[in-house]
Each structure stands twice: as C-alpha cells, then as structure tokens.
Amino acid sequence: MSNTILSSNANSSLINTLLGSESVKNPNIYSTEEITPPYAATWQRCDPTTGDALAGRTQVFNVMKYGYLQQALLCWEKEFTVAVPADGTTKKLSAANDVIRCIDNIELMASGRVVSTLNADDLYAQFSDLSEADSIPVRASALGARTVSVPVGGAALTKKTEKYCLPIVFPQFESVDTQLNCQFLEGISFRVKWGKIDNFESDATAAAIPANSMYMRFRYKAFPEEQVSEVLSANFDQPELAQLTSRWYSEAPISFTTGAAETTKDVTVELKNTDCVQDLFAMGYVAAAAEAYVPQRITNIKLEASGQTIFEMSEEELLYARLGEHGWSCSQSVDASGGASRVAKIQNGLYTWYKLSNTMSLRELNAPKVVVSFADLAVNTTYVCRVSEKCSAIFSTTSATGRYNVALSN
C-alpha cells in the first residue's frame, strides 16, 4: 500500500516542488537542536529588610548577587478571626481576588532606582491573559476565595490562617534572553507597597497579616565558570548591552457613579501614554477598597485616535481577540468566579510570550482614547475604570559597571 502512495507522490508537481526546497528536512535524521548547558537551579527564601505588612507601608526584598533570576514569588499569611462550629458548615473567609486589594504596587529596582512597576491592576491584567492551564496554580495559591469548615466531632475554630503565594512576573522573566543576570548587574531588589490588607467576608470578624509572615522565594540558575565567562564575553564585548523586552503602564483611573436607575455606562479613558503599546487591558470594579475586587461586565470596547476607530469589538467578539499564530483564538481561563474573563483585551499582535509580534506607537496619534461599555452595574455605586498597557521597551546594561536602566521606550 505504501508503495502505491509513494508512486502517486512521485508524480505530483506540488510534492516534487516541495522536495526541491531548501526548507525540507527529514525529522528522522538525528541531530541535536539547541540545548542549554547544564546549570545549578536553586530556590532561596528572601525576608524583607524593613517592617511588617501594613496598609500603605512598603517593604524591600534584596536579591542575591548570584546567577540569573528566573522566578519570583511573593508569599504571606493572613489570619482570620472567625467562629467555626464543628458541624460541617462552610464559612467564608475572603472573596476571590482578595490579593489584588492587598497589593498597591510592586517595583523592580536596580541600585535603588525604579526600572519597572506593576500595580494591582497590571497584575490582574496579567492573570486575566493566562490560559486555563497557566491560571490553575495562580487561582489555587492566590486568587481563589478562601473558606473553612470543621467536620462534625472536630474542634471548633476561632482563628484560621491562610497562606497566599503570588507570582511576580515582570516582562524580563518572560524570556530566557532577558532574565536578570544578578551576578553581573548592580544590586537588584523588589519594593512592595501594601494596600487594603484587612478585608474579610461576612462570616469572619477580623483579618490581618501576622508579623514576619511575608517573604519572597526566588529561583536562580547558575552556570559553571567557563559558561559564565562565555556569556560575559559575548554579551558585554561592547560598552552597552541593549535588550528588547516590555514594561507596564497604567493610565489614570476614571471614577464614575451610577444613578438611581442606571445599570449601564459608557466610560472614556484618554490615553496619555506615548510609548509603543503591544496590548491594552480594560477593566472596571467597585471603587471602595473594602469591597471585593470583582471586574464588571464589559459589553463593548473601542479604541479611537486621529478621528478614526482603530479597534471595536463586542462582548462576543472579544472572545476571539487573542489571535494565535495558528490562526485560532486562544482562550482565557474558563473559571469565572474571580471575573478574569471580564477583562477586555485589545491585542495588537499575536498571542505569544516569547517574541514581539507587533507594537503600536501612540506618540503621533491624535487624542487616543478607549471607550468602555459596562453593563449589569449596581445603582448608586461608585466604580473605577482602569486601562493597563503592556509596552515595548529596550533596557540597557552598562558593560563596565552593570548599571541597568530603561534606554528607550519610543
């Protein structure tokens, strides 16, 4: 049977044209593709250099001068005061996305200078853009609602401590090419500014972050000496190393209050940023920090500039906004409990993490603005509309000193 197929193929003009192409490669001819030199992977705990977690207070976590920084996790505990009888009933401790209220912003710093910032809305925009598989650990360790129950015959509870673990993924961590070489760079640190840390659900009566429960867990990779020398000679043979990556920018929040019979609202956000934007994310939620962080339903989003409508998609069309390289749209997390699917995304390129597929300069656009249409709003309630932007940026490292900073953003 195979001989018949091969004979038929031999008489095909298309197949013979393909066989004559330089792109043809038989996958059964053994060859080793690019492989990474073996390295030492280590995970280290880092305690803050300053104070406890209190609303509005900042804490600094200094990164070791060691290897490449691959991953950063921010961890803390939260203690709830709650009366839990031993009858098997489930008590609510905190709502979904409580961690987003807990964080005001996180800054990546080099020798005390801020080089990149993620605020709470940027973090949530990141999480909303994850696929179902990628979002599972984030929901399980950070975003998910917390509950407690005691089986019949157990010991009643008055206190319950929950642990949270939040991945901090600055764009530098999204590609092996741009991971931070902490051994060579000037001192790298993270500065965390805490937000509303004492929120709790109706079944609890109080909540607080215990002293000394906050820390960061860093994953490093370290190469042997000969590989380190090779990297330094290749990357720093010129006065400066320029690396293309991205950073986040948040437009000024727009507050609005619904009327006595108003459940829908069109909100306009003027874009003041002049950088090159890869993606825009729009979201809206109740303004009061004591309320749960639940994005509201968006029925339409429109980007206008220079008198033209550049982008407009309805609620149904937004399901296809994340166009992939394969021609199909990529889905968000299917779990709707935290509202991640209600974050609207304007994607300029293709859905990919490992390379720049497109970017759009806002510098020469006249009066760019995003118009967001909300629905199912509560009456007489104040909301906030936020637009977060993932922007292209070139970071530079000075070969002589290891100084790390933004070199070009437009």
Q: 88-120, pLDDT tens digit by residue?
A: 889 999 999 999 999 999 999 999 999 999 999
Q: What is the DSSP string of 143-197?
A: IS-EEEE--TTS--EEEEEEEEEEE---GGGGSGGG-EETTTSSPEEEEEEE---
Is residue 142 predicted with pLDDT exceeding 70? Answer: yes
pLDDT of residue 32: 77
Is residue 34 predicted with pLDDT exceeding 90? Answer: no
Both tokens of residue 164?
């949270």
pLDDT of residue 335: 58
350 and 131 Cβ atoms separated by less than 8 Å: no
pLDDT of residue 259: 94
Q: What is the DSSP string of 242-284?
A: EEEEEEEEEPPPEEEE--TT---EEEEEE----SEEEEEEEEE
d(CA 98, CA 75): 14
By C-alpha distance, which of 347, 367, 365 is closest to 357?
A: 347
pLDDT of residue 352: 79
Residue that has been written with the tokens 């939260």 in this structure: 78
pLDDT in tens, 253-278: 999 999 999 999 999 999 999 999 99
Is residue 347 predicted with pLDDT exceeding 70? Answer: yes
Give the chain's end-to-end CA distance (angstroms, integer): 60
d(CA 194, CA 120): 10
Rounded (10°) CA dihedral 75, 79, 85, 91: -60
pLDDT of residue 84: 87
pLDDT of residue 1: 57
Q: What is the DSSP string of 72-98?
A: EEEEEEEEEEEEE-SSS-EEEEE-TTH
Exposure string (b/e) for 34-67, b if CB count within 10 Å is 16 or more?
eeeeeeeeeeeebebeeeebeeeebbebebeeeb
Give the distance, in angstroms, between the CA of residue 112 and the centroid of all CA atoms in the same chain.
Answer: 23
pLDDT in tens, 42-85: 999 999 998 776 778 899 999 999 999 999 999 999 999 998 88
196 and 55 Cβ atoms separated by less than 8 Å: yes
Least confidently predicted of 129-133, 283-287, 305-309: 129-133
**DSSP secondary structure letter of residue 226:** H
* pLDDT tier at 87, thresholds 50, 70, 90: confident
User: On the CB side of 305, how many CA atoms lie within 13 Å of its CA?
Assistant: 18
